[in-house]
Structure 1
């Protein structure tokens, strides 16, 4: 089952004003995160996500994520499928929930994660910042000498 997940979000469905307020706060956090990481990069530090940090520090956000994951797994069971691929909460995760494979691809803006499938059908969450840091330290530069 592949779906976004917003249709199962009570805030989006029933408290649109709160969803708009949260969207504004999220936009502000992304802007702050951009400038913060420009400074970090200039000092030689790796990327760090302010909004992801704030989400994981808030107890209600953690409970919301757990409830969302279980709701998605229940929806997969209702459809009689083995798993669900979704997004919406921007928290990359891949695990089994009572016999259902739950895959959330995260997001590209905040955490730079994606869900990928290899040629053998194996699913994996790609963390772009980890990939680029690893490749920049192990690969020779792509520069030809004249």
Structure 2
């Protein structure tokens, strides 16, 4: 019974960790902080809503569901019936967890097309920030670090 409790706690902690993300796309990782970024300025020429699909939620959901389903199934019957119930519970739990994880891993994004001051046109996809809604014609700042970029309104 102690093993069941530990397994449930591990699954719940994985699920909470997966949900604890900044919904605005303006959070930086520790490795990104204090690094020099190239800054360019431009004007928004097009905005297109997109869905950002983080497949990490699927993996966590599938594993958590399979573990919980297997634990629930192991409480049924004995002998061969118990093995079948455990396997069936793991399969069904994994499928259910995958569906839930897939839904959790999706967020609203925006594809921002920008005409830079140097004449080039670029496109950046980032999470929707409900505190800062872009519109065509907005003056924006693009912070680039390698292949990663972040768009914000220019001051």
TM-score interval for Structure 1 and Structure 2 normalised by the shorter chain:
under 0.3
Larger radius of gyration: 2
TM-score by length of 1: 0.27
Structure richer in helix, relative to its length: 1
TM-score by length of 2: 0.26
Structure with larger RCO (C-alpha < 8 A, sep 6+): 2
